[in-house]
Amino acid sequence: MASLKSIKKRIVSVKNTRQITKAMKMVSAAKLRRAQENVVAARPYAQKMGEVLQSLAGNLEGDLHPLLEKRDAKKLLLIVVTSDRGLCGGFNSNLCKAGERYLKEQQGAFEQISVLTVGRKGYEFLKNRHTIYKNFSNIISKPNYQAAALLAQDVVEGYLAGEYDQVVMLYNAFRTVMSQDITFQQLLPIVPDDQAAVEEAGVEYIYEPSVGDLLAEILPKNIEVQIFKAMLESVAGEHGARMTAMDSASKNASEMIGKLTLQYNRARQAAITTELMEIISGAESIKG
């Protein structure tokens, strides 16, 4: 049986750990509230941007914009959006494993596959497994539109230059505090929705300037908005996952403290019984 001193030391250590996990849960809960508000505010804008894009693409006449034109896809770029920090359960590992499975499935369909990581955890997981095209760290913790715009500009320029023919983004979409949806979204080429064009057929719009000029402005902007929304979704999901993980860790620590306390009391009782037996045995030997 472990000594009383070692058991007491473990109890103190677990109590300190529980204090840290409770503090981290409170911090994540406070950050989650703001991150959730940002996601709720960004979703309608991103959705409306997509609807406007679909309407414009459905009314386009003449040559397609390069971001709409379908190519013979031989080069794939996968954008993996993870967090910079850990201690959030399976938030990052589940996403990275899904990305790795997807890359293995696509190896036969593409001649070249590259990975662009947003967040340190994704980079650390994939750097020894696949070719990392570029890595963007320290921008996901506090996402801002300027960072998303620079990332989108880099992706669009690479696509127009022919460095890749298809761009897919992988991220955790925020659903609830306890659950996130692993989401694959094709960013490029942008595929117009034929059904949306049919629904808009009965409505006549006047575009100023021309549809082509509007698309030239809105298509890159749409990539920026979609990447920014994915970053916001990922941050909200990260705080929710960390809050859940820290709550579970705190409960496990409390259970462990209870078991160690019981073990400590039993060991202390056994030590006291042993001492009493030794005292009684000594007294009897003196009498004898």
Known catalytic residues are: 88
Element (H, E) at 228: helix 211-287
CA distance 202 to 195: 13
Q: What share of the chain is helix, strand, coil (3-state, %, to 5)?
A: 60, 15, 25
CA 276 to chain centroid, in Å, comes to 59
Nearest to 224 by CA among 138, 142, 119, 143: 143
Give the integer Cα–Cα distance in Å for 10 and 180: 35
Structure tokens belonging to residue 63: 């040559």
Task: State how beta strands 75-81 and 112-118 pair.
Answer: parallel
Q: Cβ contacts of residue 29 below 8 Å, gap of 6+?
A: 239, 243
